[in-house]
Amino acid sequence: MNTYLDCIPCALRQALDAARLITDDERIHEQIVREILKITADLDLNRPPPWIGQIIHRRLRALSGVADPYRSLKSQFNRLAMAVLPELKACIEQGPEPLIAAAKYAIAGNVIDFGVKSSLDEHEVARSLRDSGSTATYGDWAEFKRHMERAKEILYLADNAGEIALDRLLIEELGPERVTLVVRGSAVINDATLEDVLEVGLSGLVRTMDNGSDAPGTILEDCSPAFREKFHTAEVIIAKGQGNFETLNDVKTNIFFLMKVKCPVIARHVGLPIGAQAVIHSNG
Amino acid sequence: MNTYLDCIPCALRQALDAARLITDDERIHEQIVREILKITADLDLNRPPPWIGQIIHRRLRALSGVADPYRSLKSQFNRLAMAVLPELKACIEQGPEPLIAAAKYAIAGNVIDFGVKSSLDEHEVARSLRDSGSTATYGDWAEFKRHMERAKEILYLADNAGEIALDRLLIEELGPERVTLVVRGSAVINDATLEDVLEVGLSGLVRTMDNGSDAPGTILEDCSPAFREKFHTAEVIIAKGQGNFETLNDVKTNIFFLMKVKCPVIARHVGLPIGAQAVIHSNG
């Protein structure tokens, strides 16, 4: 997906919010805003929006000298999501469609995103996760189920920390032996990395790899050759979150995007309301 | 008032909204965004926020080739405000404090602003004007009344078209013979100019002048010598709207700002909630 003009003021606001979250140093706040203004003035709009996110957060890490500024927030929301897991697991097992129910909880976990919002309330997140079983979702769930049932192997592109604890619910329903879980190559915003896979105890359950990139999405040309090989030979891919949608929706392969619609640009692009939880099947 | 870092993404969003309102030409939308990115990258933050607004709207008029893109919207809202005038006038005359009531309606008219929002619903505006008599307002109204009662001459800096029709209510209570009404020197957003003074029939009632500037506020060094002379010798000044506040709140003279608080930066700056209607007395 291209970057829309609307994405630029939004990215700037996000850069400023992130800078304030990471450091109290107002010189850094000003410097990051000025740098992003300069970069976006000549931005190639054919790049996907996470390309700006990657630049912003690389510069913020460099300017602040902190390699993983969201580390403690990631651990906090990993713990939070793990605490509600047993309750959600019980709901899934009691219902008639455990695979679809698990997918919906996995989408609900996508509320834990420090890219779009710079602050999240723990109680609000926990309530949102519990309520999500009864939240309307969009998309062709029967088709999702059909593809998942017949797939021999499933490539599962995770999105955020916290959220990744809830991906366990869907991975267990899919059968962990069929799944390869992919996380970001290194820290960017609160996106999940291998450290989060360890924290939420998924490393013993499912094959895991990282994609070699620090973009808050999956910019294929920025990923490792090993990941790209895996991606291009995958039978079916599950991709979580807006960042993965924005970077992969034009790629011609069999992808099911599981995501919450979080901004007006995406809402218009996919024709769904903001806040919608959706499965979107794409062949590019 | 300085420009805050938060003002920059907001100004960019406003520039894009305004570009879309003025023209369907997407090349102009992109060009204005890129130009404003370049200009703000090196922005002197000591300038007030309306300085960016002035640049944006000058460039939009030049790029679109339309000298007064908001002309028809201005006339539309002049008519709307004039239609509710008799009803509001009756309310003022029935109440115990006609001067203060008139000031509150004059502030309520400040809802008609295409700078902050790019679209306004006529019915919503009419309802907001009618409801404003019962809306909470902030500030020291007794002090306002005291200064107004004893002033020999009052300089009245108008803000927007539409709103200026409601300024008549306050000007009538002040006594038109004491008032000099000032509008912008030429078209910028939907700010009132001499054309609006004529349209709402104020030209026969009150002495009027323009300030010689096309900034959406009062940037003194950009105004005509005649206006500056008037300003610096004024006994008391009424200044309507955020744009006038942002450009004059640090000037050491006797000003009563009558305005609605429309953005989080101003809300924080003045310590009032967004949406608040307020009189703020400043000596700089």
How far apart are the C-alpha atoms of B132 and B105, rounded to whole Å? Answer: 7
**Is a pLDDT exceeding 90 seen at residue B203?**
yes
**Is a pLDDT exceeding 80 seen at residue A148?**
yes
- Report how many Cβ contacts below 8 Å link chain A to chain B: 45
Which tens digits make up the pLDDT trace of A170-221?
999 999 999 999 999 999 999 999 999 999 999 999 999 999 999 999 999 9
Which tens digits make up the pLDDT trace of B226-242?
999 999 999 999 999 99
Q: Looking at the domain assignment, is residue B1 inside a domain? A: no
| Band of pLDDT at residue B136, cut at 50, 70 and 90 | confident
Cβ atoms within 10 A of the Cβ of B65, count?
A: 9
**ipTM computed for the complex:** 0.87
Q: Which residues contact A67 (CB under 8 A, 6 or more apart)?
A: A61, A187
Q: Looking at the domain assignment, is residue B250 inside a domain? A: yes
Q: What mean pLDDT, rounded, does chain B reach? A: 93
Q: What mean pLDDT, rounded, does chain A reach? A: 93
Q: What is the pLDDT of residue B122?
A: 80
Which tens digits make up the pLDDT trace of A73-107?
999 999 999 999 999 999 999 999 999 999 999 99
Inter-chain CB proximity A41 and B38 less than 8 Å: yes
Q: Which residues contact B23 (CB under 8 A, 6 or more apart)?
A: B29, B63, B64, B66
Q: What is the pLDDT of residue A123?
A: 82
| Band of pLDDT at residue A52, cut at 50, 70 and 90 | very high
Which residue in B24, B37, B265 has the most chain A C-beta atoms within 10 A of its own C-beta, making it the best mutation to test that interface?
B37
| Band of pLDDT at residue A16, cut at 50, 70 and 90 | very high
Q: What is the pLDDT of residue A124?
A: 80
Q: Looking at the domain assignment, is residue B183 inside a domain? A: yes
Q: Which residues contact A123 (CB under 8 A, 6 or more apart)?
A: none
Asked if B107 and B33 sit in the same domain, the reply is: no
Q: Which domain holds residue B14?
A: 7-64
Q: What is the pLDDT of residue B140?
A: 95
How far apart are the C-alpha atoms of A229 and A220, rounded to whole Å? Answer: 10
Inter-chain CB proximity B37 and A34 less than 8 Å: no
Inter-chain CB proximity B12 and A12 less than 8 Å: yes
- Name chain B contacts of A45, Cβ cutoff 8 Å: 30
How far apart are the C-alpha atoms of B104 and B98, rounded to whole Å? Answer: 10
Name the strand (E) or helix (H) holding A259: strand A255-260
Q: Looking at the domain assignment, is residue A172 inside a domain? A: yes
Which tens digits make up the pLDDT trace of B38-76?
999 999 999 999 999 999 999 999 999 999 999 999 999
Asked if B191 and B168 sit in the same domain, the reply is: yes
Q: Looking at the domain assignment, is residue B255 inside a domain? A: yes
Which one of B28, B46, B64 terminates a domain?
B64
What is the domain count for chain A?
2
Q: Looking at the domain assignment, is residue A45 inside a domain? A: yes
Q: Looking at the domain assignment, is residue B144 inside a domain? A: yes
H-type alpha helices, chain B:
7-22, 26-41, 50-64, 71-94, 98-108, 122-131, 141-150, 163-174, 194-199, 225-232, 241-248, 264-270
Total residues found in chain A within this entry: 284
- Name chain B contacts of A34, Cβ cutoff 8 Å: 41-42
* pTM score: 0.89
CATH (domain of B262): 3.40.50.10880
Total residues found in chain B within this entry: 284
Asked if A89 and A197 sit in the same domain, the reply is: yes
Which tens digits make up the pLDDT trace of B77-94?
999 999 999 999 999 999
**Is a pLDDT exceeding 90 seen at residue B137?**
no
Which tens digits make up the pLDDT trace of B145-199?
999 999 999 999 999 999 999 999 999 999 999 999 999 999 999 999 999 999 9
Which one of A64, A88, A113 terminates a domain?
A64
Which tens digits make up the pLDDT trace of A174-184?
999 999 999 99
CATH (domain of A29): 1.10.8
Which residue in A2, A3, A5 has the most chain B C-beta atoms within 10 A of its own C-beta, making it the best mutation to test that interface?
A5
**Is a pLDDT exceeding 90 seen at residue A134?**
no
Q: Looking at the domain assignment, is residue B278 inside a domain? A: yes
Asked if A76 and A148 sit in the same domain, the reply is: yes
Inter-chain CB proximity B5 and A13 less than 8 Å: no
Asked if A97 and A139 sit in the same domain, the reply is: yes
Inter-chain CB proximity A38 and B41 less than 8 Å: yes
Which one of B44, B64, B84 terminates a domain?
B64
Asked if A33 and A97 sit in the same domain, the reply is: no
| Mean pLDDT confidence for A236-263 | 96
- Name chain A contacts of B40, Cβ cutoff 8 Å: 37
Inter-chain CB proximity A37 and B41 less than 8 Å: yes
How far apart are the C-alpha atoms of A151 and B10, rounded to whole Å? Answer: 47
Q: Which residue has tokens 């992919």?
A: A182
| Band of pLDDT at residue A169, cut at 50, 70 and 90 | very high
Asked if B186 and B137 sit in the same domain, the reply is: yes
Asked if A47 and A81 sit in the same domain, the reply is: no
Give the distance from residue A10's alpha carbon to the nearest chain B alpha carbon, in angstroms.
7
Asked if A232 and A94 sit in the same domain, the reply is: yes
Asked if B84 and B128 sit in the same domain, the reply is: yes
Asked if A77 and A60 sit in the same domain, the reply is: no
Asked if A45 and A184 sit in the same domain, the reply is: no
